[in-house]
Amino acid sequence: MVVRNERLRLPAVLEHHRRLGVDRFFVVDNDSTDGTVEFLLDQPDLHVFQSRDSFAASQCGYAWTNTLLEMFGADGWCLTIDADEHFIYPHYEDMGLHSLCAMLDATGARAMFTLFLDMYSDQTIQQTAYKAGASLMETCPFFDALPYRCVQAEHFPSLQIYGGVRERVFWNKDEGSHPPTLSQIPLVRWQSGMRYLLCRHAMTPVPLSPVTGALLHYKFLFDFKDRAKTEAVRGEHFSDGREYKNYARVLDGQNDLCLKAEQSVRLSGSGQLVDLGLMASSAIWNAQAKLPPLVNDSCREAAN
């Protein structure tokens, strides 16, 4: 992870991925001022790095990410996420990451493709109250079930996905730019020399699993308006903070923007996302999910 002022969301994000079976975290802090560093340094399974350099000049953090993956991730399964995301996949409720990665190894896959799924509440953004450590899934249980569309892309995996609530509410069509890209490849068996090319949207070509996942994105809490204004001014995100400028433009003077709409659906589990076509499973993975728990399956151990 690369983080900046994420003290609010980090406890729940770390705990979610610990439950899945993440063994250790490598975090680059980019000049946080909200207690993020102190919190991170107090965690026993984190390796913390710091940089005060420009986020934009670091390819939005991926120069740092690629360096850490090259130094510490080679020959291992690595999950690259942001501090406001939950990685999920079919049967994640019962099957931990050790089992998932063992299945990927057995089937020759070296990475997993995911859909970026923006989550939100049925309240206005300003009214979406949240305390550090509380359940993000319970706070923001809704997502756009449709529409989503695929377009061809130059770099591997040769497609990008668009749609969802950020396009519906915040995309400025008059700019002539594309809406936020929702396709990601966060889980990779990393090999030396590999690179993320366009954040997690594109990378060095590798065999992809037919099983796909989702990144649940918890951006739209009560603090979103202030964060959007800050990042719009900083201009450190992609294209001089263009996306954050769109957020700030839409939110300017509004305290009653609710994202819930006709296409909104409450998340009920991984099977629901498979049924909706937003994730995909496989016969091999479905069969394995019906077997007794493995000794190293921390997700099931925690449930038991």
Residue 303 forms part of a structural domain: no
Residue 47 forms part of a structural domain: yes
Residue 39 forms part of a structural domain: yes
Return the structure tokens found at 299. 């997700």
pLDDT in tens, 40-69: 999 999 999 999 887 667 776 789 999 999
Residue 296 forms part of a structural domain: no
Residue 299 forms part of a structural domain: no
Return the structure tokens found at 129. 């109250």
Q: How many whole angstroms separate alpha carbon 128 and alpha carbon 219?
A: 11
pTM of the model: 0.91
β-sheet bridge partners, residue 264: 144
Contact at 8 Å (CB) between 51 and 58?
yes
Could you write out the three-class secondary structure of 70-137? HHHHCCCEEECCCCCEEEECCCCCCCCHHHHHHHHHHCCCCEEEEEEEECECCCECCCCCCCCCCCHH
Return the structure tokens found at 26. 């490598």
CA–centroid distance for 278 within its chain: 15
Local confidence pLDDT in tens for the 304 residues of the chain: 999 999 999 999 999 999 999 999 999 999 999 999 999 999 999 999 999 887 667 776 789 999 999 999 999 999 999 999 999 999 999 999 999 999 999 999 999 999 999 999 999 999 999 999 999 999 999 999 999 999 999 999 999 999 999 999 998 776 667 789 999 999 999 999 999 998 888 999 999 999 999 999 999 999 999 888 887 777 556 655 577 787 878 888 787 899 999 999 999 999 999 999 999 999 999 999 986 544 334 333 333 2
Residue 298 forms part of a structural domain: no
Three-state DSSP at 64 gives: helix
Residue 108 forms part of a structural domain: yes
78: containing domain: 2-291
pLDDT in tens, 258-304: 999 999 999 999 999 999 999 999 999 999 998 654 433 433 333 32
**Can you say whether the dihedral through the CA atoms of 281, 285, 286, 290 is positive or negative?**
negative
Split into its structural domains, the chain has a count of 1
Pairing state of beta strands 46-50 and 148-152? Answer: unpaired
Residue 78 forms part of a structural domain: yes
Question: What radius of gyration do the chain's Cα atoms show?
Answer: 19
Which amino acid, 285? W
